[in-house]
């Protein structure tokens, strides 16, 4: 049974013009500047989509239609992205007014031109009833002075934020949805107007974290990001078929009552998370094409599976599926597709989306089509054994000793 988790949305501010790096932002908005063939915003969305957010909202301003074209209505690890483009300049604070009739849940807010690695798990697992309207994640200020308003913060014994300390805003916040009620639809600053007032009224709590802070707001910082950022994200990957590998295959499993994990799966995923592997599921879903369940039903079911792992303190980073089958009576699914294993397009899509150490990656499946798929993508493959945890440990040990 899946434990109930708190519904939270993710909101990302992607409206800045980027005047300080105008060489790059004359034609594109700052958050989609490319770093190693992937835009900066994709690193952020990919990373935080491992959590069970209800929706992801992008609040876009300058050249926002370009961001909308790339992201709107797309799924990132089963989470739908909604891009809202402002018609006039609203600033980092006024832009939140666009959410008043959209967001129904409390939400995490972050900047789309900076990255801090924050563990947000506790927000979902506790029914947070703060006396405060906001929570700011704080990092030590290592001479970062671009925003003096929020770069000299301190915490009292009750973790309430005030000014005059050695901590700075990480660019990541948790807000109650009620904060949106009084935000006017005009150009105001989140940092200098909304948060300053809340901090002075002692309505903001802080949580100290240890993490690097990377932003792309200046040429110097962007150059640093290009040199260091990719290294932070490139990881080995573990690709898994679903039915017969993750869970017992009873034939077109699409209901939680029929979803039975195979032995050692939770232990195995926790082990891979600890080893900094990205975990991907690649699954043929002919049941959609055959009309046994709809694509929406499959996505809803997959979200519950994701929550099952999340409640066990482990993460799946992404999922690819193929709903197509030649001969289907449903026209839109009646076609050959390289997404369908033994085709390898699901793996190739993930390789384009995520920076992967291919020589340390592997795939586990239970069908010949899985093996062919992995071989085509030059990914090491093994058939699933009865003791998959032991099998994974052996694979990683052998790969690491070889390389």
- Asked whether 60 and 84 are in contact (CB, 8 A), the reply is yes
Catalytic residue status for 156: no
Kindly list the structural domains of the chain, giving each domain's residue range(s) and its CATH number in brackets, ordered by start: 8-233 (3.90.550.10), 237-402 (3.40.50.1000)
Catalytic residue among 9, 113, 215, 241: 241
pLDDT at 148: 52
Contacts 24+ apart (CB under 8 A), 188-193: 188/90, 188/91, 188/93, 188/94, 189/91, 189/92, 189/93, 190/13, 190/91, 190/92, 190/93, 190/96, 190/109, 191/92, 191/93, 191/147, 191/149, 191/150, 192/149, 193/93
Give CA–CA dist 129/174, Å, rounded: 12
Of 26, 49, 27, 47, nearest to 38 (Cα)?
A: 47
pLDDT at 82: 98
Give CA–CA dist 215/142, Å, rounded: 14
CA distance between the termini of the chain: 41
Q: Is residue 144 over pLDDT 50?
A: yes
Of 12-26, 239-253, 340-354, which range is least confident?
Answer: 12-26
Give CA–CA dist 189/15, Å, rounded: 12
pLDDT, tens only, 278-315: 999 999 999 999 999 999 999 999 999 999 999 999 99
Q: What is the pTM of this model?
A: 0.94
227-254 mean pLDDT: 94
Torsion angles phi and psi, residue 52, rounded to 5: -95, 55
376-396 mean pLDDT: 96
pLDDT at 232: 87
Catalytic residue status for 243: yes
Q: Is residue 130 over pLDDT 70?
A: no
320-335 mean pLDDT: 97
Q: Kindly tell me the number of DSSP H helices and DSSP E strands found in the chain.
A: 13, 19
- Asked whether 374 and 380 are in contact (CB, 8 A), the reply is yes
| pLDDT, mean over the chain | 92
Looking only at the bridges linking them, the beta strands covering 134-140 and 167-175 are antiparallel
Looking only at the bridges linking them, the beta strands covering 237-240 and 167-175 are unpaired
Catalytic residue among 9, 113, 215, 243: 243
129-154 mean pLDDT: 73
pLDDT, tens only, 53-95: 999 999 999 999 999 999 999 999 999 999 999 999 999 999 9
In this prediction, residue 127 has a pLDDT band, given cuts at 50, 70 and 90, of: low
Q: Would you give the DSSP letter of residue 247?
A: B
DSSP 28-83: S-GGG-EETTEEHHHHHHHHHTTS--S-EEEEE-TTHHHHHHHHTT-EETTEEEEE
Q: Is residue 146 over pLDDT 60?
A: no
pLDDT, tens only, 150-176: 778 999 999 999 998 889 999 999 999
Half-sphere exposure of residue 11, counting CA atoms within 13 Å on the CB side? Answer: 28
Chain centroid, CA 131 distance in Å: 28
Give CA–CA dist 374/364, Å, rounded: 9
Of 83-87, 262-266, 273-277, 396-400, which range is least confident?
Answer: 396-400
Give CA–CA dist 317/50, Å, rounded: 5
Cis peptide bond prior to 342, omega within 30° of 0: yes
Total Cβ atoms within 10 A of residue 145: 9
126-132 mean pLDDT: 62
- Asked whether 392 and 268 are in contact (CB, 8 A), the reply is yes
Q: What percent of the chain has pLDDT over 70?
A: 95
pLDDT, tens only, 203-235: 999 999 998 888 899 999 999 888 888 888 999
Of 3-7, 179-183, 229-233, 376-380, which range is least confident?
Answer: 3-7
- Structural Rg of the chain based on CA atoms: 22
pLDDT at 1: 45
Give the burial class of 241: count Cβ atoms within 10 A of its Cβ; 0-12 exposed, 13-18 middle, 19 or more buried: buried
């Amino acid at each position: 049974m899946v434990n109930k988790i708190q519904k939270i949305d993710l909101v990302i501010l992607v409206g800045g013009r980027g005047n300080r790096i105008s060489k790059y932002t004359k034609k594109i908005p700052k958050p989609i500047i490319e770093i190693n063939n992937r835009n900066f915003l994709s690193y952020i969305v990919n990373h935080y989509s491992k959590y069970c957010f209800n929706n992801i909202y992008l609040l876009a301003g300058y050249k926002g239609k370009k961001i909308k074209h790339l992201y709107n209505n797309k799924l990132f690890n089963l989470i739908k992205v909604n891009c809202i483009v402002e018609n006039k300049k609203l600033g980092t604070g006024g832009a939140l007014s666009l959410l008043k009739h959209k967001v129904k849940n409390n939400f995490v807010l972050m900047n789309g031109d900076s990255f801090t690695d924050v563990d947000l798990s506790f927000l979902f697992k506790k029914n947070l009833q703060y006396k405060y309207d906001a929570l700011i994640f704080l990092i030590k200020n290592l001479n970062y002075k671009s925003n003096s308003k929020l770069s000299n913060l301190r915490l009292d014994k009750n973790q309430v934020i005030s000014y005059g300390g050695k901590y700075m805003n990480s660019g990541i916040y948790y807000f109650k949805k009620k904060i949106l009620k009084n935000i006017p639809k005009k150009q105001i600053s989140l940092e200098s107007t909304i948060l300053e007032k809340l901090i002075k009224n002692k309505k903001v709590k802080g949580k100290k974290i240890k993490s690097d802070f990377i932003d792309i707001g200046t040429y110097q910082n962007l150059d640093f990001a290009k040199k260091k950022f990719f290294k932070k994200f490139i990881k080995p990957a573990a690709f898994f078929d679903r039915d017969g590998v993750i869970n017992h295959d009873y034939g077109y499993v699409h209901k939680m009552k029929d979803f039975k994990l195979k032995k050692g799966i939770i232990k195995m995923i926790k082990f891979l998370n600890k080893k900094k592997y990205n975990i991907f599921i690649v699954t043929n879903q002919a049941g959609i094409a055959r009309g046994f369940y709809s694509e929406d039903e499959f996505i809803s079911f997959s979200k519950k599976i994701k929550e099952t792992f999340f409640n066990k303190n482990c993460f799946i980073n992404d999922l690819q599926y193929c709903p197509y089958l030649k001969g289907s009576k449903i026209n839109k699914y009646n076609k050959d597709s390289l997404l369908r294993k033994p085709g390898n397009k699901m793996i190739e899509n993930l390789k384009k989306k995520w920076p992967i150490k291919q020589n340390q990656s592997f795939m586990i499946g239970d069908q010949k089509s899985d093996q062919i798929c992995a071989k085509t993508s030059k990914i090491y493959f093994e058939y699933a054994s009865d003791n998959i945890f032991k099998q994974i440990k052996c694979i990683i040990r052998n790969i690491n000793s070889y390389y």
